[in-house]
Structure 1
């Protein structure tokens, strides 16, 4: 029997990973899945995490818990973002080691890469330049998580791995009008505009920045693919000081093109207006996913298909969603 602790199982990514693991267990795989809500376990509390690890004794830890948000949230709460994420990573990773956890998978973010970096972004671009100012505190915390895993592997021989996803979306996303990421924010904005019969929808920035998007179900599949790789296969495709792996679709669209997709899916019939007084952020963020592709995994859900599925989930769960 393998005991797997999924930290952050109520989040979008953690929930998708939990669903996949539960399907495996239902199919007969000998798994025990361990979860805790934030109310039951505060991952920023070192003593609480230590007591939990001692009591539950997991064999594998999947660290999908994090404080996350869009440009507005990162700009408004930088102290909260760096503190909470550093504490979560330090507590979970160290206590996993202290209690003999064999394998650990940490989920990071593409914002770890420098603002002015060659596109698509390769894993070896890490720490080669200045970060995007709008989410620097969050990015620094995520870089620290990678280095924690690398350092414990080097010093203690652990098998702790990190995956760096591109922009994620899908069922369970945060649709808050101010604190959400761009895609769920657009879905909500266009839906409400269509309901109200509005003449136009305004999007932040110039609409020119390009972004890559990955459906959360693809991310869950990729995460478990990386976790399940034999140690020698994983190590043959990484390096001791470069042990993280990019996860993405390998394609990108402009924010304006994204808005046009959302417009089609939601049935909004007005016009799109850009607001260049709002920040664009990094002009392009596309992941180089060749390393993961060489190991045998590629994304399978197309963007417009994924937006349609996400919009359907939004409509079905509108009464319960955040925001």
Structure 2
């Protein structure tokens, strides 16, 4: 499961797909609205390759272009690696923490020990939502939540990675735990956190 939430890693060189898309679309939206104060504030909080908010507009545009936020005339194109077809599952980080506490309170060693055969069994419990979404649909959902109006460009010359990564949390659900934050709600919350943390 891909975890996301407050204090996520938004570094465009090292972050995972969801926080990277949020930051790229945030910067893309600021660029399409010619909102340089927002761009400067973002880059001062988290420079990209030593380019910060005090760098020249040319340096800023160059590094944004390198990371797939491309200004062409008055249009902004946001590059996303791959076809957009791979499916990914996302879980709000605080739901993960809640699930861990739930399991510590609800399970113990005796639940995993077969007394008759003197074996440890049934120890693994998946924590996840059991729901996945394509990278394309994720990008479009983030685009809608942020209000970025530019074009999404899927660069099919770049790798897709594994096509499907989905947990089966049915054992956890049977114990009585389910996630509480939907992906749509989580994107809104993490974007709000990102834009107010500075």
Which bracket does the TM-score occupy, shorter chain normalised? 0.7 to 0.9
TM-score, with structure 1 as normaliser: 0.45
Which residue of the other structure, out of 17, 22, 27, is the alignment partner of 1:192? 27
Q: Which one has a bigger Cα radius of gyration?
A: 2
Work out the number of aligned pairs and report it.
152
Q: Which residue of 2 is the match for residue 298 of structure 1? A: 178
Higher RCO (Cα < 8 Å, 6 or more apart): 2
Q: How far is the alpha carbon of 1:227 from its aligned partner? A: 1.5
1: CA distance, partners of 2:110 / 2:140 = 41
1: CA distance, partners of 2:143 / 2:168 = 29
Q: How far is the alpha carbon of 1:305 from its aligned partner? A: 0.7
Which residue of the other structure, out of 135, 152, 175, is the alignment partner of 1:272? 152
- Equivalent residues in 2 for 1:200-239, closer than 5 Å: 200-231=77-108, 234-235=111-112
Q: How far is the alpha carbon of 1:233 from its aligned partner? A: 6.4
SS at match of 1:259: helix
Q: How far is the alpha carbon of 1:240 from its aligned partner? A: 2.5
Displacement over 4 Å in runs of 4+: none
Q: Which residue of 1 is the match for residue 18 of structure 2? A: 183
User: Is the contact between residue 113 and residue 121 of structure 2 (CA under 8 Å) also seen in structure 1?
Assistant: no
Q: Which residue of 2 is the match for residue 138 of structure 1? A: none
Q: How far is the alpha carbon of 1:230 from its aligned partner? A: 3.9
Task: Please tell me the root mean square deviation across aligned C-alpha atoms, in Å.
Answer: 1.8
For structure 1, the 5+ residue unaligned runs are 1-165
Q: Which residue of 1 is the match for residue 44 of structure 2? A: none
